Structure 1
Amino acid sequence: MPKNNILVLNSGSSSLKFSIINLDEKKEYLSGLAECLNTNESRIKWALGGVKYTENLPNANHETTIKFFTSHILANEMSLLSSIKAIGHRVAHGGEKYVEEVLINDEVIDEINKVSCFAPLHNPANLVGIKAAMKSFPDLKNKNVAVFDTSFHTTLPKSAYLYALPIELYQKYGIRRYGFHGISHYYVMQQASICLGKDPEQLNLITCHLGNGCSVTAIKNGLSVDTSMGFTPNEGLMMGTRTGDLDANILLYLQENLGLSPNEVSQMINKQSGILGLTQITNDFRYLAEHQSEEEIGVTLDIFVHKLAKYIGGYSTLLDGKLDAIVFTGGIGENSALLREKVLNKLSILGFEVDVEANNSMVGQKMGVITRDDAERKALVIPTNEELVIAQKTDQLINRYII
């Protein structure tokens, strides 16, 4: 078994994704997902050696899941366990202090905790995963690396990241747009560079990460110059359970006139809104596609498409007329031909013409162009691979310090 393996952990509020990646062979030896954590329906799924497994773990949390991972899954794969040279963690928010990946120590943990108020659904879960990994892999305690979702967006100009609030709120408290999904936007930019045959430094894109969380980024000459998520991951597009853009006075109205507490308002805008809030049935985009003929479901789909097309159109003005392509990624972006067609049809003024056959065939981890050959501009589908980016950045940092 090769020794140059990286364990990647992506801890969500109720989930834990994990994979072991060998960068020399560009091979994923193991991958899995624990979901519905802290509930009676907790379960873990993984793939190893071409075989898929599922195990129910009622009421498991992050720590017990990682313990199961080490004591059950890896216990029978000692060569795989001993091959791990470092652990890479996806961390949602690094604040202004961390503009790139960093070795995790007590100071880093304190800073991640400090900016948790900016990403309350993500950073606390990331920290739980980090601490559980350090406990379960004591020999690798000093080889844990944080890779931040905000890092790619540290190139935003002030015109993009400052809010029109009293400036001291930024100066004293760091209230500004930070942006998220940066690992995914960075990866698909690199892949688009290969697909289009242009160096990243010459590439102008609008990348759309569309899943339960959704964001759009304008990339100019390989750098993020604007992005839809802001101070927290709630700003921007409508999402599975999040509102996206919202008149701030609505929040005051909910508290002052409906008597909702700040926590109740937070729950509403983060976990009870978006697709779920409008349909009152589901947060799953696939349901919208399957039931689009039903009036209220159809309206929800139209709202999603409207907001996405509006962002893409607006961001096209930031690229000096040199937009090379739109990229669709994420669970929805990669798999919903319906969404891609509807959005591109709204953007025909920008020169996009859908190749219906190519678009319909682009599902299931396929990468390619979905616009006609004679279209003025291209649209691409590129499956994201955040785990690979985390592994690469972890490996580079570890090698830099020669630990």
Structure 2
Amino acid sequence: MRKIMRILAINPGSTSTKISVFDELNEIFTQTIRHSTDELALYSKIIDQYDFRKKILIEVLEKEHIPVSSINVVVGRGGLLKPIPGGVYKVNDILIEDLRKEILGEHASNLGGILADCIAKEIGNDVNAFIVDPVVVDELDDIARPSGCPELPRISIFHALNQKAVARRFAREIGKKYEELNLIVVHLGGGITIGAHKHGRVVDVNNGLDGEGPFSPERAGTVPIGALVKLCFSRKYELHEVRKMITGKGGLVAYLGTNNANEVEQRITKGSQKDKNIYESMAYQIAKDIGAYSTVLKGEIDAILITGGLANSAMLIEWIKERVSFIAPIHIYPGEDEMKALAEGVYYALKGELEIRDYN
């Protein structure tokens, strides 16, 4: 490997492909490439877009005078694979096959590993492709899986990439290993997930996608289940409408008509009591779940780490701190830097500080 590790990180979204180039951990270039509806309409399936996206990606790099041949590590966002422990995975044929088969569904993130693999092979020279902490990371303790209905087991879907990256970052800052610590990590974004990290494993976490935990800017979180069942059988709503109530049009959107926390805070500053009540209720629910997850770790908690876009909100953070500061020291990591998280994961793995796992 060259003296300087040059990393290309790829994060495909539904209508965009974000790319970043790092020399070691120094970001030297980043760009979000937008794809028009007309361009994407040429492909019946998302997975078929990989060649189109690859060509544009390479063109952008060359325009910025970053030849693909200068890259010696490629890392892509992990897709909807089978449930796996967290960590850094070297892309292999089995992983690519599962992404192409869309074993857990169609999603743009499935292109991450495929694009990384294609570009690494095109470069040659023993350049390898990796993925880091996909959303399907599942490290739940068995005791956390029953829900009360055998037909509806609890499953692990959360902001694994950001939660794990922040946890490892904190561990490095205090001179310890992630595997030595007990942490509660709180991701505050369009969805909210709260994970109990026990010695390097997320042993319990709410399913922030599918209606569990605090409500968030766009998601309903845990709702009264009896009332939900009645609503589903009221014949007033179609399946897709109920799904939207839970994910997309729930939470702040449902109550206040916006998912923009800055807008809500401006209204509160101007005296809106309704906005204050709902926004503070969201903080209350977040704090309540932090308290619940502290019991998972039996109160033995080294720190509470709060990250994500909403971690920039002094108002929200203060409300949360008021209720949970007695549990453990609180550390704030504002924003969600997925590109940095991808680069850090593969960088520390290739330095031998993280295990490189095999997907099988």
Which range, TM-score by smaller chain?
0.7 to 0.9
Instruction: Select the structure with the greater relative contact order (CA < 8 A; seq sep ≥ 6).
Output: 2
| Cα offset, 1:249, TM superposition | 4.4
SS in 1 for 2:166: helix
Q: Is the 8 A contact 1:86 1:140 kept in 2?
A: no
Q: Is the 8 A contact 2:264 2:275 kept in 1?
A: yes
* Larger mean Cα displacement after TM superposition, 101-110 or 270-279: 101-110
Amino-acid identity (%): 26
Structure 1: give runs of 5+ residues left out of the alignment.
Answer: 43-60, 118-122, 352-376
Measure, in 2, the Cα distance between the counterparts of 1:378 and 1:246: 30
Q: 1:127 to 1:193 in 2, by over 3 A?
A: closer
Q: Is the 8 A contact 1:2 1:22 kept in 2?
A: no
Amino acid at match of 1:20: V
Cα deviation digits, residues 45-75 of structure 1 (max 9, x gap): xxxxxxxxxxxxxxxx88655543322x222
Instruction: Tell me the TM-score normalized by structure 2.
Output: 0.79
Q: Is the 8 A contact 1:180 1:233 kept in 2?
A: no
Q: 1:151 to 1:197 in 2, by over 3 A?
A: farther
Measure, in 2, the Cα distance between the counterparts of 1:382 and 1:265: 34
| Cα offset, 1:137, TM superposition | 7.0
SS in 2 for 1:271: coil
Measure, in 2, the Cα distance between the counterparts of 1:99 and 1:16: 23
Matched, 1:379 2:310: no
Select which of 94, 112, 124 maps to 1:107: 94
| Cα offset, 1:329, TM superposition | 1.0
Where do residues 236-275 of structure 1 align in structure 2 (5 Å cutoff)?
236-275=213-252
Aligned to 1:318: 296
Measure, in 2, the Cα distance between the counterparts of 1:30 and 1:2: 19
Matched, 1:116 2:89: no
Q: Is the 8 A contact 1:234 1:270 kept in 2?
A: yes
Aligned to 1:337: 314
SS in 1 for 2:72: strand
| Cα offset, 1:380, TM superposition | 0.9
Select which of 116, 124, 149 maps to 2:134: 149
Instruction: Tell me the TM-score normalized by structure 1.
Output: 0.71
Where do residues 190-201 of structure 1 align in structure 2 (5 Å cutoff)?
190-201=168-179
Select which of 284, 294, 304 maps to 2:260: 284
Q: 1:398 to 1:259 in 2, by over 3 A?
A: farther
Q: How many residues align?
A: 337
| Cα offset, 1:83, TM superposition | 1.3
Q: 1:125 to 1:276 in 2, by over 3 A?
A: same
Q: Is the 8 A contact 2:81 2:95 kept in 1?
A: no
* Larger mean Cα displacement after TM superposition, 337-346 or 131-140: 131-140
| Cα offset, 1:294, TM superposition | 1.1
Select which of 141, 145, 148 maps to 1:161: 145
Q: 1:220 to 1:398 in 2, by over 3 A?
A: closer
Q: Is the 8 A contact 1:241 1:270 kept in 2?
A: yes
SS in 2 for 1:149: coil
Measure, in 1, the Cα distance between the counterparts of 2:137 and 2:67: 31
Matched, 1:27 2:26: yes
Q: Is the 8 A contact 1:91 1:147 kept in 2?
A: yes
Q: Is the 8 A contact 2:68 2:123 kept in 1?
A: no
| Cα offset, 1:345, TM superposition | 1.0
